[in-house]
Structure 1
Amino acid sequence: MDAISFGTDGWRATLDTFTAPRVRMVGQAVARHLTEEDLDGPVGVCYDARESSRGFAEEIARVLCVNGFDVVMPERDRPTPLLSWNIVDRDLAGGLMITASHNPPEYNGVKFIPSDGAPALPEITEAIEANLAEPDPLPEAEWGAVREVDFVSGHAEHALELVGADPDLSVAYDAIHGSGRGVTDALLERTGAEVERLRCEEDPTFGGGSPEPTRENLAELIERVTDGDAELGVANDGDADRIAVVTPERGLLNANLLYAVLYDYLLERDSGPAVRTVSTTFLVDRIAEAHGQEAIEVPVGFKWVADAMVAADALIGGEESGGFSMRGHVPEKDGVLTALLAAAAHDAESLDDRVDRLLSEHGEIHQSRVSVDCPDEEKVHTLDALAEAIPDSVAGEPVEDVNTADGFKLLLESGAWLLVRPSGTEPKLRVYAEAESEGRVEALLDSGRELVREAR
């Protein structure tokens, strides 16, 4: 049991730790939690493209069944957001997703999604952790059954209706061999877009790397857009809940700028606040203010974005790591839906032109981040030490305020900021900075590294 811990987005570990007996314990814990909450409807079980994922999904489905729950599963690996959508659309009691997202093939993971389709909040994951136990079958006559169902069609119809646009584009799509293959590309194609597919073949090793849509991992996609015929490039991570977008002039578009252009596009058709994490750009705030709207800041983790989106009836919610959702959809990040939304925004006004216009209207803005190694057992000590030594100035600029919603965010006189927070998935501290120039960002990041070094 001690090896099982639900962090920022479920429990994730290497396969020497993420084992069938422990997965069965998670299944039993979820069954007990649902029973305690008087939820007796079917449960969705979905899985990503890793070699081990289908087997783990079947293990968890069996445990749910012997606890009296019927289970619905897709016929093959499918994206996490499709599970979230089907939980709501099919009125399921909840769902379990077997995925390690962007991690390499030697990892796997599991996360529980409640009946509202949103990421589970801490009170739910803590209740599940408290219920971890060996499977405890009911009498066989009370067992549930497993049924395979279509996880794709309903989500696709909803996405097309919600976005309400038919972008006439040539799009290059890179699945990185993940679960977006045959889903995101097919959705774009249904709008009439001409889609060129990259790494859309099944490969549980992800080509020998990680299904992470970083600049280094998307070299071919970037070339197809910047030097080829594609007008737009789209990539998903391994379970397709996040997105990366490539434009002809900028190559890989910074996810902060992607958030800005998506919000700007949606504001042309509707109104409402935006929810962003503490690590996401203030450019969103400037756009919101210009339209008489509010930007709501929450800690890192899409569960907090989702919670605030529902409370505020937000038009959009997102984070700097490329996870977005919008009003009218389930409150969970969805890289499939966002691909369609990005294509629609680009068709209305090229994303490069839109970024240029927004920066001209609201001011130049740059952001970057670095990671500093820090064992999990040292994170609390380091952050406590940092709390006792908040500087009066950073990189020669006075600190005006300190935001402690998630780590320490030092707000500077010019509107720039520096953030130090613990990673929820790795033994690292994250250091983020935003300022008016790339040089200023680098200076702030250097100061952030030094602050962490001194605190340790």
Structure 2
Amino acid sequence: MIRFGTGGWRAVIGDEFTRENVRLLAQALADRMHAEGVVERGLVISYDRRFLSDVAAWWAIEVLAGNGVPVRVITRPVPTPMCMWTVGQTGAAYGIAVTASHNPALYNGLKIFTEGGRDAELAVTDELAAHTATLAAEDVRSLAPHEVRESPLVTEQTSINWYLDAIIDQLDLEAIRHAHLTIVLDPMFGVAQTSLQTVLVSARCDVEVINARHDPLFGGRMPSPAEGSMTPLRQAVLERGADLGIATDGDADRLGIIDDTGAYLSPNQVLVLLYEYLLTGKGWRGPVVRNMSTTHLLDRVAQAHGEECYEVPVGFKWISATMAETDAVIGGESSGGLTVRGHIPGKDGIQAAGLLVEMVARAGKPLSAIYAEIEQRYGALVMEEAAYGYTPQRREELQRRIFEEHELPAFDREIERISWIDGGKVYFTDGSWLTVRFSGTEPVIRVFSEAPTAQEAQQLSRAVAEHFTLEA
């Protein structure tokens, strides 16, 4: 019943996300640690503000401690990247973040991290899922709830300052302090407020916060910083005349941006802005890494500076691994996650937001003007993203037709090549492209397309939807 996607294990609360399944997965991980001989290095566990997240963390801790695994638990809701950072800093063998990230409120889940704070490789999560399927409730060894709090194997950590100081130390606080920026922060009822507000206030920014209360229903919206969820932030930025608005998803590993004019900046645009800034503003050198569904404008920036842009499958573990191999400056994906060289090997919305604020402060001009200069320099590309639900029967049909028989519609432009490395990606000779793949976190098929205009990108996406009779 436990299936890992690109963002960990996520399931509906009370359906597959249950106490029994959390305990089985914790037992499987404990067994793996014993088999690898890394038990003494221990494990870090954190949780977000979702319903049952804190409780589920202790369900897992009872089992881990019952198997002799030392556990460091961060006993307050924190950003998932803090768990990754702590795994790396403490030398722990593994980490667990109890979160379903940006999924709807009825979901929860677990993200697994390996040595250094990396997203667990597919081989690791596949083995954990397979081993979990062989376990029964009687195979689980655990401490009783009243025993685990007193166990010498369990260390409770309340401070988040080591993680925040690591981010602050990377920023040009002097430049930010003298820019006198006004920023609206929307944590989307998630965990970002304390962390990001602390970073921004340390840099003397004037910070206004919306949607900060604890609400496991996330205000009735998806805790995802996509354009459709950013209306409250856009209104707040315009009403206050703010320099920019920053939104983060439920566990703060992704971000969304509203500029000074109230315009939404997509994750693709943010990636391009930051890569250009790191190269020209901070004088860094190195390539960039993106997944197959992320803007090719990054390729243009890299080429202009004599650098390389590496394309990898969807899943941040591929980005972080390739960054390590190539010493890349930055890596990211169109869903809003990115990381920068010298930080954690995974997504961090807190650090990315701080770096973007530094960029605006040092530029001495509005964010809208900065991006306008990017388009003048490199041209414009527009991405269209669509998600289509399916029944189990249709999944089998779509799997066969698209990913086995490689059936595709007739497009209105010449095809340069097609890749089937991760789903299907069609590269057109005019620089446009389109991807089709099953989501790793939700029961939907995703279609991404990018072209010089929104109309062209939409036409490419509609060609797929009409050919396979897909409905949003």
Structure 2 length as normaliser, TM-score?
A: 0.91
Equivalent residue number for residue 157 of structure 2? 149
| Aligned 8 A contact 1:182 1:200 in 2 | no
Offset at residue 348 of structure 1 (A): 2.4
Equivalent residue number for residue 228 of structure 2? 216
| Aligned 8 A contact 1:79 1:180 in 2 | yes
Equivalent residue number for residue 404 of structure 1? 420
| Aligned 8 A contact 2:76 2:158 in 1 | no
Say whether residues 1:103 and 2:115 are aligned partners: no
Offset at residue 138 of structure 1 (A): 9.2
| Aligned 8 A contact 2:62 2:142 in 1 | no
Say whether residues 1:89 and 2:89 are aligned partners: yes
- The DSSP-based 3-state class of the residue aligned with 2:257 is strand
Equivalent residue number for residue 291 of structure 1? 305
| Aligned 8 A contact 1:65 1:144 in 2 | no
One-letter code aligned to 1:307: A
User: CA, structure 1 residues 379+116, in 2 after alignment: closer, same or farther (shift >3 Å)?
Assistant: farther
1:13-412 aligned at under 5 Å gives the runs 13-17=11-15, 18-39=17-38, 40-132=40-132, 133=135, 134-137=139-142, 145-165=153-173, 166-167=175-176, 168=179, 169-249=181-261, 251-268=263-280, 269=282, 270-349=284-363, 350-375=366-391, 378-379=394-395, 381-386=397-402, 388=405, 390=407, 394=411, 396-412=412-428
User: CA, structure 1 residues 353+131, in 2 after alignment: closer, same or farther (shift >3 Å)?
Assistant: same
| Aligned 8 A contact 1:84 1:332 in 2 | yes
d(CA) in 2 for partners of 1:33, 1:378: 36
Say whether residues 1:427 and 2:435 are aligned partners: no
One-letter code aligned to 1:51: F
| Aligned 8 A contact 1:24 1:63 in 2 | yes
d(CA) in 1 for partners of 2:446, 2:115: 32
Offset at residue 38 of structure 1 (A): 1.3
Per mean C-alpha deviation after superposition, the further-off stretch among 313-322 and 130-139 is 130-139
Offset at residue 215 of structure 1 (A): 2.6
- The DSSP-based 3-state class of the residue aligned with 1:245 is strand
Offset at residue 227 of structure 1 (A): 4.2
User: CA, structure 1 residues 363+380, in 2 after alignment: closer, same or farther (shift >3 Å)?
Assistant: farther
User: CA, structure 1 residues 376+85, in 2 after alignment: closer, same or farther (shift >3 Å)?
Assistant: farther
Offset at residue 49 of structure 1 (A): 0.1
Offset at residue 183 of structure 1 (A): 1.1
User: CA, structure 1 residues 453+392, in 2 after alignment: closer, same or farther (shift >3 Å)?
Assistant: closer
One-letter code aligned to 1:135: V
Q: C-alpha offsets along residues 68-93 of structure 1, whole Å, 9 cap, x if unaligned? A: 11211122111100000011111112
| Aligned 8 A contact 1:28 1:131 in 2 | no
User: CA, structure 1 residues 160+412, in 2 after alignment: closer, same or farther (shift >3 Å)?
Assistant: same
- The DSSP-based 3-state class of the residue aligned with 1:162 is coil
Q: C-alpha offsets along residues 209-260 of structure 1, whole Å, 9 cap, x if unaligned? A: 3312233322121112234321010011000010011102352211111110
| Aligned 8 A contact 1:242 1:323 in 2 | yes
User: CA, structure 1 residues 424+35, in 2 after alignment: closer, same or farther (shift >3 Å)?
Assistant: same
Offset at residue 376 of structure 1 (A): 5.1
Per mean C-alpha deviation after superposition, the further-off stretch among 311-320 and 214-223 is 214-223
Q: C-alpha offsets along residues 407-448 of structure 1, whole Å, 9 cap, x if unaligned? A: 111111211111111111122111111111111111111112
1:434-449 aligned at under 5 Å gives the runs 434-449=450-465
User: CA, structure 1 residues 108+292, in 2 after alignment: closer, same or farther (shift >3 Å)?
Assistant: same
d(CA) in 2 for partners of 1:191, 1:403: 45
One-letter code aligned to 1:445: S
- The DSSP-based 3-state class of the residue aligned with 1:314 is coil
Gap regions ≥5 residues in structure 2: none
- The DSSP-based 3-state class of the residue aligned with 1:330 is coil
One-letter code aligned to 1:436: P
The two structures, once aligned, show a CA RMSD in angstroms of: 2.1
| Aligned 8 A contact 2:23 2:140 in 1 | yes
Offset at residue 164 of structure 1 (A): 3.4
d(CA) in 1 for partners of 2:19, 2:105: 16
One-letter code aligned to 1:357: E
| Aligned 8 A contact 1:68 1:138 in 2 | no
User: CA, structure 1 residues 138+426, in 2 after alignment: closer, same or farther (shift >3 Å)?
Assistant: closer
- The DSSP-based 3-state class of the residue aligned with 1:147 is strand
Structure 1 length as normaliser, TM-score?
A: 0.94
